[in-house]
Amino acid sequence: MSNTPHKIELSDIEIDEQGNDHISSCYNTPLRENAFAISDDEKIKIIAHHFEAIMNTLGLDLTDDSLKGTPKRVAKMYVKEVFSGLHPDKKPKASMFENKYKYKEMLVEKNISFYSYCEHHFVPIHGVAHIAYINNGQNIGLSKLNRIVEYFAKRPQVQERLTMQIGKELENLLGTADVAVFIDAKHLCIASRGVKDDHCSTITSYYGGAFNESAKKEEFLKYLEIQTDKK
């Protein structure tokens, strides 16, 4: 048996329906093996060229002062900002420290806001992530939790995969399965087009180890209900 994944041929209609329904298959971002064979600068050049073609095809006049810089601007934004988390070099280095004070309860960081992009429509997803873990002798710098969310968010994403990628990464870094991730997000592909529902939000969660016990899960969810961001 070969290790090559079985390719299912889908019709354009099926692909479109799958995209609109936001079905995802695996928690690794599907990247080609040679995804980083060319430099960021080369990627920017190629994307700018193709984006210009898209704008041209739409009938826009690229000699207009307001439009002529757009292809390059979009290309730079894709490579250097909103999709920069595709590059493994951008993965945040985790600063871990020993739990000298023997803290044994769960630690919860709430309301980590993020922007991502729906990989089916290339429009923003924005929301908040709530993270909890019970340390196994190691703690992680709090701001690293924000950085990890940001790193995985800066990719074309589906929310389920984003949630799992954050959960798996924390499990690896912390050396414990006792990790929970809860994401509440708004998808602009649902709000601004298609069904145009501006009010709905999507919730996904990841529970590992102790968080599969209902008491721990409830404790975590209770903390999320407490209004903590009073200014």
Q: How far is CA 65 from CA 47, 60, 110, in A?
A: 20, 12, 44
Catalytic residue at 120? yes
- In angstroms, rounded to a whole number, what is the distance separating the alpha carbons of residues 47 and 72? 8
Site string (169-198) toward Zn ion, x via CB under 5 A: --------------------x---------
Catalytic residue at 219? no
Beta strands of the chain (E only): which ranges? 96-98, 106-118, 124-134, 138-140, 156-157, 179-187, 202-207
State which residue, 120 or 216, has the beta carbon closest to Zn ion. Answer: 120
Nearest residue to 229 via CA among 58, 110, 97: 110
Q: What is the CA 200 to chain-centroid distance, rounded?
A: 19
> Of 121, 130, 160, 169, which residue is the catalytic one?
121
Please report how close the Cβ of residue 82 comes to Zn ion at its closest, in angstroms.
15
- For residue 209, the 8-state DSSP code is G
Q: Which residue's entry shows tokens 């649902």?
A: 190
> Of 130, 150, 159, 169, which residue is the catalytic one?
159
> Of 109, 119, 171, 219, which residue is the catalytic one?
119
Q: Which stretch binds Zn ion (CB under 5 A): 66-74, 101-109, 118-126, 163-171?
A: 118-126
> Of 150, 157, 169, 187, which residue is the catalytic one?
187
Catalytic residue at 121? yes
Catalytic residue at 165? no
User: Site residues for Zn ion, window 47-106 (CB under 5 A)?
Assistant: none
What residues act catalytically?
Answer: 118-121, 159, 187, 189
Residue numbers at the binding site for Zn ion (CB under 5 A): 118, 120-121, 189
